A and B are shown apart, each in its own frame.
Chain A
Amino acid sequence: MIASLAFYLFSFVLIMSALFVISAKNPVHSVLFLILAFFNAAGLFVLLGAEFVAFILAIVYVGAVAVLFLFVVMMLDVSFADLRRESMQYIPLGLVIGGILLVEMAFMMFAWSPSMMAGGNIAAAAPKDLSNTHALGQILYTQYVLPFQVSGLILLVAMIGAIVLTLRVRPGTLRQKISDQVHVRREDVVEVRKVQSGQGVE
């Protein structure tokens, strides 16, 4: 009873906040609604017994991705209202394509049934005596080590790409060079002079 109540609550808020994400006038509000949507999706995962995914969603998506979005949206000097006005002309076409997809997906949802063999093929959910995190940890670095490592390479490529496309060397910028600072000798920078009283240093 409580579980289904929680399910409907999370789902309702999730769908409503998703709607607000695309309809809010102010982009900052959109991002905030996106964060709300993430939280509710995390709630749904908890209901499914996937607490690890739920926390990852909260930590990574809310904590890092959405905050990054927020920064980008605040920094960009783009009039989102104008953008939206321009994209309005594509709405009829978008609605048609979206409608076709919706009908197809609804059809599939009613037609779908898993194969007789699917039950045997499907990997067991977390073993009963193990927590989610523990069970994931057991397979992530053994059975799934290859996709795990390749995902790491994908992130590396993303980082290289971001640097390649944005980093510019500007002439005239002052940089701290630690080795220069360490290699400075006393004679180069300190000069000791005897100063006669009343005359000052030239």
Chain B
Amino acid sequence: MTVFNFNDVVAIAPEVMLAVGSMLLMMVGVTARGGALKPVALLTVFLWVVTAGYICTHGAGETMRVFEDMLVLDDFAQLMKIFIAGGAVAALLLAVADIDKTVMARFEYPVLMSFAVLGMFLMVSANDLLALYVGLELSALSLYVLAAFDRNSTRASEAGLKYFVLGAISSGMLLFGASLIYGYTGSTQFDVIQATLSAGAVPGPSSVVVLFGMILIVSAMAFKISAVPFHMWTPDVYEGAPTSVTAFFAIVPKIAAMALIIRLVTGPFEPLASDLQPVLAIIAVASMLVGAFAAIVQTSIKRLLAYSSIGNMGYALVGLVAGTHLGLSALVMYLAIYMVMTVGTFGVIMLLRRDGMAVEKISDLSGLSKSRPYYAYALAILMFSMSGIPPLAGFFGKYAVFQAAVAANAYVLAVIGVLTSVVAAWYYINIIRVMFFEEPKEGEALGLSSCPVSRIVLGASLLFVLLFILAPQSLAVISANATNGLLK
């Protein structure tokens, strides 16, 4: 009989801190009188920073498996958790400016974000289908509520409901796939699944069942990173949800879901990698194509960024399709750079105000170079980086991914990637054209949010994008170290 092991609890101290901290913050919010949002939000940021700091200082060292092998603590999980916590801090700091005076100014907002972060921590450490599922649901449920948080807005409610219904379907696919895998292997634990799948050559017809289960699970994860053809929800949810929530959606959950896909492909499904590779390749190519072409006709900034994120996930998946250590480390590097660029882009959008609200339409930006030159230049730098123009950070991410694809002889993917990047550059640069070469619209110029914190976050992201060229190797080394243990 197994006995409860207290050392396991110590090993997952960051998760325990997050869980207990979030519950304490809720108590703070309930007992504080009036205007509890600001203190709770700042305390949440503090909690995340402390958690990330704890993870940084307590390096994983050797890989640990805790709670009866339900969770795995390794370098990869550590780095992903630091990314998630960092992205969440940036997203919440940006959000504070946006949610201050609306119906959304309620303390549950940061608390729900914190629970979502906890769920994502569990996702990236998952080493068992059961742990994967509960972590995924914890984060997903918090995100559904956040999408509908602006409950007086019909669009936000619609976004929340749509996200919830489609998310429930993807959970159903995940569970169906998990039950098929369990039915074949007799275990939900990743290491045992891997050993079972690699030991016996899967007998003829049964392999279809295993493949079916695997593809169902991968599809459910593709839904979470909004890869084509599971991307339908993304533009609607991004557009309908409040801008601060959209920023959070675009920055944080993608990292967790992508980390989970990496974990699955290199772990339990590794024996069947050759079967999975074409599936991932199709998803990657379709995401790159849809992300590039569907974004061209968009007029709403948030929809455009939704398609941009679809395309970016396609580029990131190229690294995974390569299937080499180089590819995985390029993927991790790409995720980090994508995250910082997205933070910056949403930072500009949320700082600029039209009638007290964050800007929504691309045409709102027309003539920005005259009315708000600094912000126009900032957004221009970010857009150039997004489209992958050297010497900005975005170029290095794309370069690493395509280099890995070429090294793995996936020339077709690399060529499609470069071509779609060119198409995508068109709509990124179109934003710059609107800002610099179109006359400002009639009426008053765009206002500015008076939140100093958001400006600091934006500035930090800009510095990263601009100065990345000085030390591109450092991030590459970090990514390579983190992904070292994944492939045997």
- Number of chain A residues whose Cβ lies closer than 8 Å to a Cβ of chain B: 38
CB of B186 within 8 A of CB of A142, answer no
B408 in the interface (beta carbon within 8 A):
no
User: For residue A119, which residues in chain B have a CB less than 8 angstroms away from its CB?
Assistant: 186
A157-B184 contact in complex given A147-B134, A151-B134, C-beta closer than 8 Å: no
Looking at A111, A115, A120, A122, the one whose CB has the most chain B CB atoms below 10 A away is A115
User: For residue B195, which residues in chain A have a CB less than 8 angstroms away from its CB?
Assistant: 117
The 8 A CB mask of B121-143 against A (1 = contact, 0 = none) is 01000000011001101100110
Q: Tell me, rounded to whole Å, the shortest Cβ–Cβ distance linking A68 to chain B.
A: 18
CB of A142 within 8 A of CB of B185, answer no
Which residue in B19, B108, B203, B212 is a CB contact (below 8 Å) of A113?
A: B203
B148 in the interface (beta carbon within 8 A):
yes
CB of B145 within 8 A of CB of A121, answer no
CB of B2 within 8 A of CB of A115, answer no
A154-B131 contact in complex given A143-B68, A146-B67, A165-B145, C-beta closer than 8 Å: no
CB of B206 within 8 A of CB of A121, answer no
Give A27 to B131 CA distance when docked, in angstroms.
Answer: 37
CB of A118 within 8 A of CB of B196, answer yes
A138 in the interface (beta carbon within 8 A):
yes
B118 in the interface (beta carbon within 8 A):
yes
Give A117 to B210 CA distance when docked, in angstroms.
Answer: 14
A75 in the interface (beta carbon within 8 A):
no
CB of B68 within 8 A of CB of A147, answer no
CB of A154 within 8 A of CB of B137, answer yes
CB of B196 within 8 A of CB of A121, answer yes
A115-B184 contact in complex given A147-B70, A160-B145, A165-B145, C-beta closer than 8 Å: yes
A114 in the interface (beta carbon within 8 A):
yes
A117's nearest neighbour on chain B, judged by CB, is B196
CB of B192 within 8 A of CB of A121, answer yes
User: For residue B352, which residues in chain A have a CB less than 8 angstroms away from its CB?
Assistant: none
User: For residue A144, which residues in chain B have a CB less than 8 angstroms away from its CB?
Assistant: 68, 130
User: For residue B212, which residues in chain A have a CB less than 8 angstroms away from its CB?
Assistant: 104, 108
B416 in the interface (beta carbon within 8 A):
no
Looking at B26, B149, B185, the one whose CB has the most chain A CB atoms below 10 A away is B185
Give A141 to B68 CA distance when docked, in angstroms.
Answer: 12
Give A163 to B208 CA distance when docked, in angstroms.
Answer: 45
User: For residue A149, which residues in chain B have a CB less than 8 angstroms away from its CB?
Assistant: 19
B115 in the interface (beta carbon within 8 A):
yes
The B-contacting residues of A in range 116-142, CB under 8 angstroms, are 116-122, 138-139, 141-142
A98 in the interface (beta carbon within 8 A):
no
CB of B200 within 8 A of CB of A115, answer yes
A90 in the interface (beta carbon within 8 A):
no
CB of A112 within 8 A of CB of B3, answer no
| Interface SS, B side | helix
User: For residue A157, which residues in chain B have a CB less than 8 angstroms away from its CB?
Assistant: 112, 115, 138, 141-142, 145
A120's nearest neighbour on chain B, judged by CB, is B186
CB of A111 within 8 A of CB of B209, answer yes
A117-B2 contact in complex given A143-B68, A146-B67, A164-B112, C-beta closer than 8 Å: no
A115-B67 contact in complex given A108-B209, A154-B134, C-beta closer than 8 Å: no
User: For residue B206, which residues in chain A have a CB less than 8 angstroms away from its CB?
Assistant: 111-115
Give A114 to B197 CA distance when docked, in angstroms.
Answer: 11
B353 in the interface (beta carbon within 8 A):
no
User: For residue A117, which residues in chain B have a CB less than 8 angstroms away from its CB?
Assistant: 185-186, 195-196, 199-200
User: For residue B67, which residues in chain A have a CB less than 8 angstroms away from its CB?
Assistant: 145-146
B144 in the interface (beta carbon within 8 A):
yes
Give A146 to B2 CA distance when docked, in angstroms.
Answer: 13
A161 in the interface (beta carbon within 8 A):
yes
Give A151 to B141 CA distance when docked, in angstroms.
Answer: 12
The 8 A CB mask of B190-226 against A (1 = contact, 0 = none) is 0010011101101101101100100000000000000
A111-B208 contact in complex given A138-B1, A142-B1, A160-B111, C-beta closer than 8 Å: yes
B189's nearest neighbour on chain A, judged by CB, is A121
CB of A116 within 8 A of CB of B200, answer yes
User: For residue A160, which residues in chain B have a CB less than 8 angstroms away from its CB?
Assistant: 26, 108, 111-112, 115, 145
CB of B202 within 8 A of CB of A115, answer yes
User: For residue B196, which residues in chain A have a CB less than 8 angstroms away from its CB?
Assistant: 115, 117-118, 121
B106 in the interface (beta carbon within 8 A):
yes
Q: Tell me, rounded to whole Å, the shortest Cβ–Cβ distance linking B213 to chain A.
A: 9
Give A22 to B138 CA distance when docked, in angstroms.
Answer: 30
B300 in the interface (beta carbon within 8 A):
no
A60 in the interface (beta carbon within 8 A):
no
Give A163 to B149 CA distance when docked, in angstroms.
Answer: 11
CB of A147 within 8 A of CB of B131, answer yes
CB of A150 within 8 A of CB of B208, answer no
A118's nearest neighbour on chain B, judged by CB, is B186
Which residue in A113, A150, A163, A165 is a CB contact (below 8 Å) of B135?
A: A150
Give A165 to B138 CA distance when docked, in angstroms.
Answer: 17
User: For residue B141, which residues in chain A have a CB less than 8 angstroms away from its CB?
Assistant: 154, 157-158, 161
Q: Tell me, rounded to whole Å, the shortest Cβ–Cβ distance linking B95 to chain A.
A: 15
A6 in the interface (beta carbon within 8 A):
no
B180's nearest neighbour on chain A, judged by CB, is A108
Give A122 to B184 CA distance when docked, in angstroms.
Answer: 10
Give 9 A-B contacts (CB < 8 Å), ordered by A residue.
Answer: A114-B186, A120-B186, A141-B4, A142-B1, A146-B131, A147-B70, A150-B119, A157-B142, A161-B141
Given pairs A115-B196, A141-B4, A164-B151, 14 additional interface contacts (CB within 8 A): A107-B208, A108-B212, A116-B200, A118-B185, A138-B1, A142-B2, A142-B3, A143-B2, A143-B68, A146-B67, A146-B71, A147-B130, A150-B119, A161-B141
The 7 closest A-B pairs by CB, nearest first: A118-B186, A111-B205, A161-B145, A121-B186, A122-B186, A121-B187, A150-B134
